């Protein structure tokens, strides 16, 4: 069985994007950003049913989604053994017999995402794999620890081997409209991260309005964020299509004005293969195919991979399999 995708397209592009250096704080630009909530919600409602792919095309998109997953474990009972199992799954996210049936080479997930204490076992388990370790930081998930400790946490995670840092912004700055304070905060986090890529978590479910989402997105990009991310996964409302649409259009506006591409990461509540298909189609429509590579698009998830694997087995065999047939780490 042959999928309708070039295996090369599952890999990172040959050219490396110039990293977003950030821009000077521009209050006038921020004030110009608005959000038409009713129009955004109408557009978002059309997405799940209007962009449906089937058969080989669906399998190809699901394979693409796997390469963009930040396979995540952020539990209080995490252990080194659990992280090692998850890393083994990241190295081989799809069973070998399914890859053979799909005529595909070995693929990996985009990254592993863990707490600081789990960086060392993750780095060891992923040695020579090329899969980066992402660490949540800055008092995740609330972001309310003392500022100097949040900066130090970033520095220590990078020193431990994290190649990506997922920070949480201080929501109070966005809610009070103190955008300069948010800019200065993220700018400091970017400096502390050094060579590691910085993903800024907006916690969109706690920002109050879509206009705040648009402005927080732009402030983080002005401050040098490499990615903007919807949620910690711990809020009552996590990734949604309306906030995603707002964030993607902010990314497009930033690119059109500066020439720098910033990545996007939805997280929280994405557990079904159909969710991945909707987000992939949204990315393609709003930003274009270049953003469908894992250096610019990630999905923060833990259980999503299981459902994708079950859907791919159904594509190959015509039968749905029980979850226990697919190792999930």
Confidence of residue 12 (pLDDT cuts 50, 70, 90): low
**What pLDDT score was predicted for residue 8?**
39
Average pLDDT over residues 31-56: 88
**What pLDDT score was predicted for residue 302?**
87
Give rounded-to-5 percent helix, strand, coil for the chain.
50, 10, 40
Confidence of residue 2 (pLDDT cuts 50, 70, 90): very low
**What pLDDT score was predicted for residue 4?**
47
CATH of the domain at 87: 3.20.20.70
Given a cut of 80, whether residue 11 has pLDDT beyond it is no
In the set 226, 229, 275, 307, the catalytic residue is 229
Residues 272-298: tens digit of each pLDDT = 999 999 999 999 999 999 999 999 999
Average predicted confidence (pLDDT) for the chain = 93
Q: DSSP labels for 244-299?
A: HHHHHHHHHHHHHHHS---EEE-BSS--SHHHHHHHHHHHHHHT-GGGGSTTTB-E
Residues 110-166: tens digit of each pLDDT = 999 999 999 999 999 999 999 999 999 999 999 999 999 999 999 999 999 999 999
Report the C-alpha gap between 262 and 219 in whole angstroms: 12
Structural domain contains residue 75: yes
Number of domains in the chain: 1
Given a cut of 80, whether residue 5 has pLDDT beyond it is no
Structural domain contains residue 5: no
**What pLDDT score was predicted for residue 108?**
97
Range name among 8-22, 92-106, 184-198, 209-223 with the lowest pLDDT average: 8-22
Average pLDDT over residues 57-61: 94
Residues 183-242: tens digit of each pLDDT = 999 999 999 999 999 999 999 999 999 999 999 999 999 999 999 999 999 998 999 999
Dihedral pair phi/psi, residue 128, rounded to 5°: 65, 10
Question: In the annotation, is 229 catalytic?
Answer: yes
Encoding tokens for residue 258?
């500066």
Domain region containing 297 = 24-325
Given a cut of 60, whether residue 95 has pLDDT beyond it is yes
Structural domain contains residue 106: yes
Encoding tokens for residue 55?
């058969």
Structural domain contains residue 8: no
**What pLDDT score was predicted for residue 7?**
40
In the set 226, 265, 275, 307, the catalytic residue is 265
Relative to beta strand 111-114, strand 197-201 is unpaired
Average pLDDT over residues 67-75: 97
Structural domain contains residue 2: no
Structural domain contains residue 1: no
Question: In the annotation, is 166 catalytic?
Answer: yes
Encoding tokens for residue 62?
């699901």
Please, are residues 199 and 229 in contact by the beta-carbon 8 Å criterion? yes
Whole-angstrom CA distances from 33 to 21, 36, 187, 262 are 21, 10, 21, 18
Measure the CA dihedral 248/254/259/263, to 10°: -40
Structural domain contains residue 170: yes
Longest dimension (CA), the chain: 57
**What pLDDT score was predicted for residue 71?**
97
Given a cut of 90, whether residue 10 has pLDDT beyond it is no
Given a cut of 70, whether residue 9 has pLDDT beyond it is no
Enter the pTM of the model.
0.93
Report the C-alpha gap between 232 and 241 in whole angstroms: 16
Structural domain contains residue 240: yes
**What pLDDT score was predicted for residue 51?**
57
């Amino acid at each position: 069985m042959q999928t309708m995708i070039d295996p090369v397209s599952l890999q990172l592009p040959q050219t490396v994007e110039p990293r977003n250096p950030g821009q000077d704080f521009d209050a006038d630009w921020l004030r110009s950003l608005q959000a038409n909530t009713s129009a955004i919600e109408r557009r978002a409602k059309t997405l799940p049913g209007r962009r449906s792919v089937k058969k080989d095309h669906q399998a190809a998109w699901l394979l693409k989604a796997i390469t963009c997953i930040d396979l995540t474990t952020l539990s209080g009972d995490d252990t080194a053994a659990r992280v090692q199992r998850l890393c083994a799954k990241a190295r081989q996210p799809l069973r070998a017999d399914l890859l053979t049936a799909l005529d595909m080479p070995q693929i990996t997930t985009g990254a592993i995402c863990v707490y600081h204490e789990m960086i060392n076992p993750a780095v060891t388990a992923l040695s020579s794999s090329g899969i980066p370790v992402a660490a949540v930081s800055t008092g995740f998930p609330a972001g309310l620890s003392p500022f100097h400790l949040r900066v130090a946490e970033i520095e220590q995670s990078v020193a431990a081997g994290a190649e990506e840092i997922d920070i949480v912004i201080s929501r109070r700055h966005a809610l009070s409209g103190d955008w300069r304070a948010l800019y200065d905060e993220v700018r400091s986090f970017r400096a502390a991260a050094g060579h590691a890529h910085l993903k800024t978590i907006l916690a969109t479910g706690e920002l109050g309005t879509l206009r705040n989402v648009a402005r927080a997105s732009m402030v983080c990009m002005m401050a040098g964020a490499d990615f903007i991310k919807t949620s910690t996964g711990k809020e009552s409302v996590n990734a949604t299509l309306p906030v995603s649409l707002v964030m993607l259009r902010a990314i497009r506006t930033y690119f059109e004005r500066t020439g720098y591409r910033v990545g996007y990461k939805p997280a929280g509540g994405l557990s079904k293969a159909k969710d991945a298909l909707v987000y992939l189609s949204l990315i393609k429509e709003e930003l274009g195919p270049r953003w469908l590579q894992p250096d610019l698009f990630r999905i923060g998830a833990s259980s999503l991979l299981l459902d994708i694997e079950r859907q791919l087995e159904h594509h190959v065999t015509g039968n749905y399999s029980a979850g226990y047939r697919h190792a999930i780490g």
